[in-house]
Amino acid sequence: MVKNIPALRVVLTSNCNLNCIYCPPKGENFVNVGKPIQPERLLKILELFYEMGFRNIGFSGGEPLLNKDLPVILKNCFRFKDVYLKLYTNGIFLKKKGSILSKFELIKVSLDSINREKYKELTGDDRLDDVLEGIELAKKNKINIRINTVLTQRNYRGIFDLIDFCRKKQVDLKILDLNCFDFLGYSRWKELYISPSQIVRQLENLGLNKRTIYTTGNYGIPMLEFYCDGITIRIKDTKKNSVYAPVCKNCKYFLCQEGLYQLTFTSDGKLKMCKHRPDIYIDLNQRIGTETKRRISYFLNEHYFSAKRIFSKKQLFLGYFGTNGKRKRESI
């Protein structure tokens, strides 16, 4: 397989035990959610991806720890050499699922506030203690943890309390600005979005060492990474330049917030390059074989390997969701 293979995100379930105020129904992968793929087929597909050269694999949801087949899936993944396995979780089940946590190179815990009332407001449930105890258990077992925080107007003022928590617990932190999704009735983004630029300025004023990092395969949005008392703090700002495939230039969302950054294999067996469009995917529910590899290779060549990074300050969704500014198209 050629270079610049993207990371692969495997959605194990669309179910979640929280109801975060900024999430679309059924999470980020709400567009094509049908009958869940069976674990036997999923394992065959994961083996196929491994044969094609994929080495960075993350399991997400919904809440992936709700999938009872995860231990079996992980056991089969151990046959793969040099694979970097990640878990995206809200952290509530970390205590109960402790026996499988050590199987991951990195566990990304979604935590938007360490204030109990604010956490309950953001997630719809009072489970902060479960998350914090789970993080503590993972740290005691020397499991690599990173906290992912979605920045909104509701938790903005508590971000430096969260940074202080991460510094004391010695866990890395990633701060992401809020992504907007296009589906009927979704308007919370206009109420909740806030730029991370002020946080960046405050971190820079502290004189912390920093660098710019890119995601697997050099896709996605470049992120600033600050070093602070033994931890890293990453800032993902979707106003920065990103990577777009040729097909993007005819999309009504171009330039969109996210751009191209990783392949997503959904819980209903579809391989997608985009969270927002239902028309660009490969259905992997058919017979798996040489033809499947050919189709995936074509998909990668058509979109990822011909993609380009656009260096442009862009408006968020270019006015489609209440932002100001004229629509600006770029050639790629």
Q: Which token pair is 183?
A: 């589906």
Cβ-Cβ contacts under 8 Å for 26 (sequence gap 6 or more) = 14, 33, 62
| pLDDT tens, residue by residue, 253-304 | 787 888 899 999 999 999 999 887 888 999 999 888 889 999 999 999 999 9
Cβ-Cβ contacts under 8 Å for 6 (sequence gap 6 or more) = 215, 216, 217, 219, 260, 261, 262, 263, 300, 304
pLDDT, averaged across the chain = 88
Of 171, 189, 199, give the one whose Cα is nearest residue 276.
189
Domain extent listing, the chain: 7-319
pLDDT at residue number 146: 98
CATH superfamily of 7-319: Aldolase class I (3.20.20.70)
More confident residue, 201 or 25: 201
What is the pTM (predicted TM-score) of this model? 0.91
pLDDT at residue number 90: 97
Of 321, 331, 316, give the one whose Cα is nearest residue 240.
316
Q: Is the pLDDT of residue 325 over 60?
A: no
